[in-house]
C-alpha cells in the first residue's frame, strides 16, 4: 500500500498529471521549482514566471480558470480593486498622490477604474429602473397638438427609430425600417395636412440653420428618441468629462508649476470614479422604502466632503488654499456639466 501511495504522489507532483498542466515540464530543480520551457516564447527557466515574457509557468486548464479570466479581463476584478476601493473612498487625496508618485502596481489605474465604475453605474441604473422616459408626447416641446391617430403613428415611428439606432450600420433590417418609416411619415404628413390640421403653427428658431433643422427639429418631432439618445451618449461619451474638466483645474494651479496636466487628469479621473460609485450606492438606497431621503443626504454630504479631501491631500494644500479652490471648483463643475450636456445634445442630432 505504501508503494501505491508513493506512486500516486509521484504521478501527481511530477508525472502525468503535472505534465498535463505544464506540457513542457522538466525535472524538479532547486527550491522545489520545476524546470520548464515557456510555451509562449520557448525560453527555458526554473521558477513561477518566464524571465523573458513574464508568462506563468503553471498553465491552468479548468473552468474555474476561465471564470477568473472573464472576471479579470472584463471587470478587472483582481486584488488591485480591493486595495484601491477603500483608499479611493476614504483617502482619495492619498491615492491620487501615491499613484502620481509612482505606486502603480498596487492600485487600479485611474482610467480602468473610471471605465469599470461607469459601466457598473449604468448597469445598476438599468436594474433599478432609472432610465429615460419613452412615452413623452410629441407636443411637449412646442409641436402641434396631436389626435389619437397621430399619437399612435408617432409611437410606432418612435419604436422603429429606436430599433434602428441600436442596429449595426450593415444590418439589412435598417433598410426595412427605413421603408416602414417612409410610409408612416407619409401617413402622418397627410393626416396633419387634412381638415383641422394646424398648418400655421410657428416654432421659435435661433436663425442657425444646422441648429434649427437638426437638433431643435428632432427634439420637437421625437423627444422620446432624443432622450434615449441622450442617455446612451451619456454612457458612451462619459469620458468627455475628463478633458472638459482639465482646463478649469489647470487654471486654479496656474502659478504652481510643479503640478502638470497629467496630475490634474489623475485627480479628475479618480474623482469621477468615486462619484460613479456614489451614484451606484444612491440608486440602490433609493429602492428601499424611505431610502430616497437618505440617498440625497449621502450625496449632499459625501460628494463635497470627498472632493475637498481629495483636493487638499492630493496637492498638499493648506485648509484655506483648499477651501477657496473647492468653492471655485463647485462653480466649475456646473459649467463642465452644462458643456457636457450640450455636447450630448449635438451628438444626439447625428
* 274, 92 Cβ separation under 8 angstroms: yes
- Residue 322: the pLDDT is 94
Single out the residue in 29, 61, 93 at which a domain terminates. Answer: 61
Residue of 225, 18, 236, 24 lying closest to 115 (CA atoms): 236
If phi > 0 it is left, if psi is from -120 to 50 it is alpha, else beta; for residue 201 that is beta
* 119 and 254 fall within a common domain: yes
Locate cell 444646422: which residue? 210
Tell me: pLDDT of 181 over 90.
no
Q: Say whether 9 sits in a helix, a strand or coil.
A: helix
- Residue 229: the pLDDT is 72
- The CA–CA distances, whole Å, from 208 to 204, 212, 220 equal 12, 6, 16
- The CA–CA distances, whole Å, from 327 to 78, 301, 320, 332, 340 equal 36, 15, 11, 9, 20
Is residue 140 in some structural domain? no
Provide φ and ψ at 28, rounded to 5°: -70, 130
Residue of 336, 338, 342, 348 lying closest to 243 (CA atoms): 336
* 191 and 124 fall within a common domain: no
Alpha-carbon torsion, ordered 178, 180, 184, 190, to 10 deg: 80
- Residue 234: the pLDDT is 80
* 164 and 247 fall within a common domain: no
* 170 and 312 fall within a common domain: no
* 108 and 152 fall within a common domain: no
Q: Which domain holds residue 176?
A: 145-202
Strand bridging mode 35-37 / 44-46? antiparallel
If phi > 0 it is left, if psi is from -120 to 50 it is alpha, else beta; for residue 103 that is beta
- What is the pLDDT of the chain when averaged over all its residues? 76
- Residue 256: the pLDDT is 86
* 314 and 244 fall within a common domain: yes
Burial of 69 (0-12, 13-18, 19+ CB in 10 A): exposed
Separation CA 200–CA 185 (nearest Å): 19
Is residue 139 in some structural domain? no
* 168 and 119 fall within a common domain: no
Single out the residue in 36, 61, 86 at which a domain terminates. Answer: 61
- Residue 76: the pLDDT is 54
* 111 and 251 fall within a common domain: yes
Which of 127-141, 187-201, 312-326 ranks highest by mean pLDDT?
312-326
- Residue 246: the pLDDT is 94
Is residue 214 in some structural domain? no
Is residue 8 in some structural domain? yes
* 92, 306 Cβ separation under 8 angstroms: yes
Is residue 15 in some structural domain? yes
Work out the widest C-alpha separation in the chain, in whole angstroms.
Answer: 101
Tell me: pLDDT of 98 over 80.
yes
Does pTM top 0.75 for this prediction?
no
Residue of 235, 221, 244, 233 lying closest to 150 (CA atoms): 221
Is residue 16 in some structural domain? yes
* 246 and 327 fall within a common domain: yes
Mean pLDDT of 193-215: 49
- Residue 106: the pLDDT is 86
Residue 33: half-sphere exposure toward Cβ, Cα within 13 Å: 15
Tell me: pLDDT of 216 over 70.
no
* 154 and 301 fall within a common domain: no
Q: How confident is the model at residue 348 (pLDDT cuts 50, 70, 90)?
A: low
- The 10s digit of each residue's pLDDT in 47-73 is 888 888 888 887 777 777 676 666 666
Residue of 135, 140, 148 lying closest to 220 (CA atoms): 140
- The CA–CA distances, whole Å, from 312 to 70, 160, 181 equal 38, 51, 56
* 49, 13 Cβ separation under 8 angstroms: no
* 245 and 289 fall within a common domain: yes
* 102 and 197 fall within a common domain: no
- Residue 40: the pLDDT is 85
- Residue 220: the pLDDT is 64
Domain count, the chain: 3
Which residues make beta-bridge pairs with 37?
44
Selected residue with higher pLDDT from 172 and 93: 93
* 157, 181 Cβ separation under 8 angstroms: yes
Is residue 20 in some structural domain? yes
Lowest mean pLDDT of 30-44, 228-242, 309-323, 336-350, name the range.
30-44
CB-based contacts of 81, cutoff 8 Å, min separation 6: 108, 116
Residue 103: half-sphere exposure toward Cβ, Cα within 13 Å: 11
Mean pLDDT of 295-323: 94
Is residue 224 in some structural domain? no
Mean pLDDT of 269-275: 95
Q: How confident is the model at residue 225 (pLDDT cuts 50, 70, 90)?
A: low
- The 10s digit of each residue's pLDDT in 107-143 is 989 998 999 899 889 889 888 877 665 555 555 444 4
Locate cell 449635438: which residue? 346
Amino acid at each position: 500500500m505504501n508503494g501505491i501511495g508513493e506512486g500516486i504522489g509521484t504521478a501527481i507532483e511530477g508525472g502525468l498529471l503535472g505534465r498535463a498542466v505544464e506540457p513542457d515540464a522538466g525535472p524538479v530543480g532547486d527550491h522545489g521549482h520545476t524546470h520548464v520551457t515557456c510555451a509562449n516564447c520557448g525560453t527555458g527557466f526554473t521558477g513561477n514566471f518566464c524571465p523573458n515574457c513574464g508568462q506563468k509557468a503553471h498553465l491552468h486548464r479548468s473552468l474555474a480558470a476561465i471564470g477568473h479570466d472573464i472576471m479579470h479581463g472584463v471587470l478587472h476584478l483582481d486584488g488591485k480593486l480591493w486595495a484601491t476601493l477603500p483608499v479611493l473612498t476614504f483617502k482619495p487625496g492619498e491615492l491620487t498622490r501615491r499613484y502620481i508618485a509612482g505606486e502603480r502596481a498596487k492600485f487600479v489605474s485611474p482610467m480602468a477604474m473610471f471605465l469599470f465604475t461607469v459601466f457598473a453605474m449604468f448597469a445598476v441604473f438599468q436594474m433599478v429602473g432609472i432610465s429615460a422616459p419613452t412615452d413623452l408626447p410629441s407636443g411637449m416641446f412646442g409641436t402641434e397638438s396631436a389626435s389619437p391617430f397621430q399619437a399612435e403613428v408617432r409611437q410606432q415611428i418612435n419604436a422603429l427609430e429606436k430599433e434602428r439606432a441600436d442596429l449595426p450600420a450593415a444590418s439589412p433590417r435598417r433598410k426595412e425600417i427605413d421603408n416602414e418609416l417612409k410610409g408612416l411619415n407619409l401617413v402622418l404628413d397627410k393626416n396633419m395636412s387634412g381638415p383641422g390640421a394646424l398648418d400655421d403653427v410657428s416654432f421659435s428658431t435661433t436663425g442657425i440653420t444646422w441648429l434649427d433643422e437638426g437638433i431643435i427639429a428632432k427634439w420637437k418631432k421625437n423627444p422620446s428618441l432624443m432622450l434615449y439618445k441622450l442617455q446612451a451618449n451619456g454612457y458612451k461619451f462619459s469620458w468627455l468629462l475628463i478633458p472638459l474638466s482639465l482646463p478649469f483645474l489647470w487654471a486654479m494651479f496656474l502659478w504652481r508649476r510643479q503640478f502638470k496636466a497629467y496630475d490634474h487628469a489623475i485627480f479628475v479621473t479618480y474623482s469621477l470614479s468615486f462619484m460613479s460609485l456614489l451614484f451606484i450606492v444612491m440608486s440602490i438606497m433609493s429602492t428601499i422604502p424611505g431610502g430616497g431621503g437618505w440617498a440625497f443626504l449621502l450625496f449632499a454630504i459625501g460628494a463635497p466632503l470627498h472632493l475637498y479631501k481629495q483636493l487638499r491631500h492630493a496637492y498638499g494644500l493648506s485648509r484655506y488654499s483648499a477651501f477657496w479652490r473647492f468653492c471655485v471648483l463647485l462653480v466649475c463643475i456646473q459649467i463642465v456639466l452644462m458643456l457636457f450636456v450640450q455636447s450630448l445634445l449635438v451628438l444626439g442630432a447625428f
